[in-house]
Structure 1
């Protein structure tokens, strides 16, 4: 399973955006937490600590914002498989066993659209950082590597399920080379921002530790 980012304009591609009004709260909370030592009255003198803190803040917040922008792209269903853009996870139809709406997902309340696969652990191959954490948590909680709140999809969940069923019944075909190239590119971009976000957290922690070492 590979990440994917597909811009194929053909009619055989169904794009389902995701509109969660609370999805930016995580990034805003991160901004408050990371910046709290300075927002509470610490000096902003142009020293090593401040520079390191600023670098960490920018990397962490931008990385979080990129994830949220990808989340808004929701799902893409094409002839080859289904893509979850939050983590750029692509699953070919040959690995999908069912796409359904689960109304009793560990007491979470709102129904989730869940993509179930033959081997959920395969979705972790090649994944790094926050993406691996998200996929592992989604699989444990919802029974599949892809799960999104159905009521935030811009296309009715029933339409997504019908489209998936139709594609699963079609003959298996090789991946289009152009789409495969886009998936490779998307994976590199996602990995870059995953590493950038991690580096941002490290820089933030370094800014807290540096005063005791200098």
Structure 2
């Protein structure tokens, strides 16, 4: 009988800790579809997306805002633009932590808050803080392009290697991870229309 009581008490204590941990999380940030162009994979203007959502584009462009409600989209300080054939996951979006998992395609990230926006890939992560940057994930080549558009991007590879880059880099995500300087011309090529649509070329 005493064993059953102890087991029940232990179970209740564990459940209490789990509930307390769940309710101690900071408020979740709102993610909204702010704009789209072309085939946008079925996302509607103003549509809300939750933490854990997977966002995939088809043949069109998509703009997401983080941390503002529908009536204040123009006041967003954290914005993501997704090019065609792009896939991201909204992994962790709280007032004190913003993490996006980026698995395929091309994005632009603008973050003017006090909290870094983390862009995670297979083997590296990248912090955007008070800056604008573009990222390209060639998943079939296991290669990431990091393209700072203003300021610098902090690149982390594993637990020990970290660098702050103001210049574009090509990162080969195999063991060992390798870095190479990259020459880019965003106003040329197939992606130029995407960068013009996002409006990031005017300040370059």
For the criterion TM > 0.5, the same-fold answer is no
Give the structure-1-normalised TM-score. 0.26
Q: Greater share of strand residues, 1 or 2?
A: 2
Q: What is the TM-score normalised by the length of structure 2?
A: 0.26
